[in-house]
Amino acid sequence: MPLVRMARALWIWGPLLAYVVLIFYLSSLSQIPWAAAYPDYIEHSTEYLGLAVLMARALNNGLSPSIPGRTLLLAFLLCLGYAISDEIHQKFVPNRFADVTDVMSDAVGAGAGLAALHLGRRLLDRGSAA
């Protein structure tokens, strides 16, 4: 039984951990050549949309059953905290800087991801009840 629990925990938390490590790694680079092709606000909001969905998934121990509002709020706050810490981290990376507009883009992306997740779950729950 402990092996099954450990595998489940890895399945639930592993993608979130990998994603956070990827964000940290990308923030550690002085420049990201492919990123210059896209507007900064699109990159940030998309990045944190994914983070928020993975965060809510992990905190809820999966995407089913429906995710309570307080779990969505906690996921949002944790994403916002990570966005702030990420900008502080970038302040110490050569050729990078901390920018409050990046944090705002991160927050918009996280909020959009959690809203889409909430609405999607409601639609799925409504469809299965019919």
Number of domain units in the chain: 1
Contact 108, 52 (CB under 8 A): no
Contact partners, residue 43, CB within 8 Å, separation at least 6: 35
- Which pLDDT score, from 0 to 100, does residue 14 have? 97
Residue 101: give the domain boundaries: 2-30+37-129
Helices (H), 1-130: 2-28, 40-59, 69-90, 100-129
Peptide bond into 65 cis (omega under 30): yes
pLDDT by 10s per residue, the chain, length 130: 688 889 999 999 999 999 999 999 999 999 888 887 889 899 999 999 999 999 999 999 998 878 999 999 999 999 999 999 999 999 999 999 999 999 999 999 999 999 999 999 888 777 666 5
Q: From CA 75, how far away is CA 72, in angstroms rounded?
A: 5
Contact 91, 98 (CB under 8 A): yes
Q: From CA 69, how far away is CA 10, in angstroms rounded?
A: 24
Contact partners, residue 54, CB within 8 Å, separation at least 6: 15, 16, 19
**Is pTM beyond 0.85 here?**
yes
